[in-house]
Amino acid sequence: MSTVTWIAVDWGSSNLRIWAMGADGADGAVLERITTDQGMLELTKDQYEPVLLSHIAPWLGDTAMPVVACGMLGSRQGWIEAPYGTVPVSPASQTVTVQTHDPRIDVRVIAGLQQLEPADVMRGEETQIAGYLAQNPSYSGVLCLPGTHSKWVAIDAGKVTSFQTVLTGELFNLLADKSILRHSMGAWDEASFLQAVAQSAQSPEALLTGLFGLRASQLLRGDDTGKSRLSGMVIGTELGATKAFWQGKETVIIGAGELARLYGAALQQLNATVKVEKVEEMTLSGLKTVYESVFK
Amino acid sequence: MSTVTWIAVDWGSSNLRIWAMGADGADGAVLERITTDQGMLELTKDQYEPVLLSHIAPWLGDTAMPVVACGMLGSRQGWIEAPYGTVPVSPASQTVTVQTHDPRIDVRVIAGLQQLEPADVMRGEETQIAGYLAQNPSYSGVLCLPGTHSKWVAIDAGKVTSFQTVLTGELFNLLADKSILRHSMGAWDEASFLQAVAQSAQSPEALLTGLFGLRASQLLRGDDTGKSRLSGMVIGTELGATKAFWQGKETVIIGAGELARLYGAALQQLNATVKVEKVEEMTLSGLKTVYESVFK
C-alpha cells in the first residue's frame, strides 16, 4: 500500500467513516476506506481516541499524522465541542484541535454552522457544501442534502447565506415503522409516489390531515400503495414548503442511492431542474480542502 | 349491590372498559366500573369471551344478560367483524350479534362508520356521537373528539354527513418520545402553546419545516418550551387544516382531561366558541340508546 499522507474522517451520529488518503492522483487518492457503526450515539468522550486508533494504527509513523474530521463528533456530546460558524459564512472555514494522548496523530475537527433566525444548525453537511464549493468556487444557487434531516442551503458567491433543516426522513421512518400506518405500507409504486409528491407540494397544509387516509383507503379499498404515497406526501410537503429555495433555479442534490433518486424524481415531477453530486465525493473534497488549508 | 340489568362495554385498541348498569336513576344507573389494559392489541379472537366473563361473571344470572359493546373489538382483528355504516347515516344504528359459548350473555357489537371519499373510518366514536345525539336529537353542527386519532364530525339533523380523522395525538407522541426532538421537550408553558397554536393554524403548511426549529432553538438559545410548542404546532396545524368543520360554528368537544382542555384552549385562541361534553357520559349515553333499541 502507498504511503498514507493524511486521514479523512466523517464521524456522524450512527456511523464512522475513515479514508486513508495518499498523494493526489486521478482516483482521488483514496488508499483505503473503513465504515463502522461506531457513531457518536454509541460512544463516551474518552472512547473516541482509542476507537480511531484501533482503525488507523497501521497507517501511523514517527511524525504526527494529519487527521481532518467532520460531523457530530464536534457536538457537545461528541469528542470535542467545535463552535458553530454563523451564516452568512464560508462553510468549513473553522477547525478546532483535539488534545490527543497519542502524539502520532494531529486531529482537527471542522466547525458546524448555525443560523440565528430562524434558529437552525448543521454539523457535517458544511463539509459537503465546502466540497461542492471547492469545485465551483463562485457558485450562487441552492443545494439540497437529503437525509434523516434534510438540509436546504442557499449559496451566494461561495458563502452559505441561509439554510433550513427538515425532519422528513425521520418523520417517514417513525410513521412507516412505528405508527398505525405501519400496517398499510405495501409495495413500492412509483406512479403513486409521484402523484403524492405533486398533490402534497400543491397543498403542504394537508399533510397531517392526509395521513390517516393511507390507513383508511387500505381498509376500505385494499389500497396497497401506502409506502409510496407516504414517501411522496412527506417529500412533496417538504418541497412545497421550501419553494423559496428551489423554485426557478437548478437544484444541486448532494446525496446517494435511492433517497437522492427520490428527491430528484420529486423535483422533476414539479418541473424543477436537478443535478446530482455524490455525497462521498463532496465529503472528501471538503475534508481535503480543509486539510490543504490547515496542514499545507 | 342492586341488580345488574345490562352491561355496557367500550373495548378499544389499548383498553377495556366495562360498566354494570342498573335500572335508570339520577346517577345514570352505573352500579360498577371496571377498566383494564386488556385492549384489542393484546388479544386473540378466542380470548374475548373468557376475558369478558372473568370480569362480569358475578353479575350473571339464569337469563341471558344483555351486553352492548363498541370499539375496536368490531374490527377484523377483533372479536367479530362488524360492518361499517356509510355516511350520511345515523351513528350506532347497526349491531351484530356475537355467537358466544356461554348462554348467560347476549353480546351485540355496534358497527363503525365509513366515508368512501375521502376514505375514512371510525370504530367507537360513532357511539359517543350517538350518545350526544340522544340528548340533542335534531342537532346540526360539528363535534370534535380529541384522541390518539382525533375525529372531526359534521352533523346535519342528527346524521353524520362527513368526518375526518387526524393522527395528531399519535404524531405528537412519536415526535416527543422517539424523535431527535425528545431531547428538547422541557416543561409546560401555556403561553408558548397558545402562540404555537395561532402560528400553526395560520400556516399549517409549515409544520414539517418547523419541527427541527424546536431542537435548534434549544441548542442555540436554551429554549425550554419545546413540548408546549410541539403540542401547539400539531394541534394548531390540525385546526388550520380543519377550518371547514369549525369556523363560524360552535364546536362541541367530546373528551376528557388535559387533552380536551388543550383543544378547547386552542379553539378559543382562534376565537372559536367551544362546549365540552364528557366522553364517558357520551359513551354510556350511546351504549344505552343502542341497548334500549335492541333489547327493549
How far apart CA B284 and CA A145 sit, in angstroms, is 53
Question: ipTM > 0.90?
Answer: yes
B141 vs B24, more confident: B141
Q: With cut-offs at 50, 70 and 90, classify the pLDDT of residue A152.
A: very high
> Is a pLDDT exceeding 90 seen at residue B1?
no
> Is a pLDDT exceeding 50 seen at residue A284?
yes
Contacts of B116 in chain A (CB under 8 A): 220
A128 touches chain B (CB under 8 A): no
Average pLDDT, whole number, for chain A? Answer: 96
A192 vs A27, more confident: A192
Q: With cut-offs at 50, 70 and 90, classify the pLDDT of residue B85.
A: very high
Q: With cut-offs at 50, 70 and 90, classify the pLDDT of residue B26.
A: very low
B150 touches chain A (CB under 8 A): no
| Closest residue, chain A, to B152 (C-alpha) | A209
Q: What is the mean pLDDT of residues A66-93?
A: 96
Q: How far is CA B220 from CA A158, B11, B285, in A?
A: 25, 46, 51
Q: What is the mean pLDDT of residues B192-200?
A: 98
| Closest residue, chain B, to A221 (C-alpha) | B119
CB B231 within 8 A of CB B172: yes
pLDDT at A26: 45
A28 vs B175, more confident: B175
pLDDT digits 0-9 by tens, B138-152: 999 999 999 999 999
pLDDT digits 0-9 by tens, B241-288: 999 999 999 999 999 999 999 999 999 999 999 999 999 999 999 999
Reference A153, options A204, A96, A94, A89; nearest CA is A89
> Is a pLDDT exceeding 90 seen at residue B37?
yes
Q: What is the least distance, in Å, from the CA of A76 to any CA of chain B? A: 10
Reference A256, options A236, A227, A278, A272; nearest CA is A278
CB A65 within 8 A of CB A7: yes
Task: Tell me, rounded to whole angstroms, the distance of Cα B182 from its chain centroid.
Answer: 26
Q: What is the mean pLDDT of residues B90-118?
A: 97
> Is a pLDDT exceeding 90 seen at residue B24?
no
Contacts of A213 in chain B (CB under 8 A): 118-120
Q: What is the mean pLDDT of residues B123-132?
A: 98
Q: With cut-offs at 50, 70 and 90, classify the pLDDT of residue B96.
A: very high
CB A123 within 8 A of CB A151: no
Q: How many CB atoms lie within 10 A of CB B292?
A: 13
pLDDT at A59: 96
Q: What is the mean pLDDT of residues B209-222?
A: 96
Cross-chain Cβ contact A213/B119 below 8 Å: yes
Q: Which of residues 13-72 of A touch B (CB under 8 A)?
A: none
DSSP A60-80: --SSPEEEEEESGGGSTTSSS
Q: What is the least distance, in Å, from the CA of A192 to any CA of chain B? A: 16
Percent of chain A past pLDDT 70, that is, above it, reads 98
Contacts of B115 in chain A (CB under 8 A): 216
Cross-chain Cβ contact B178/A178 below 8 Å: yes
Average pLDDT, whole number, for chain B? Answer: 96
| Grid coordinates belonging to B84 | 361499517
Q: What is the least distance, in Å, from the CA of B223 to any CA of chain A? A: 11
What is the pTM for the complete model shown?
0.94
B118 touches chain A (CB under 8 A): yes
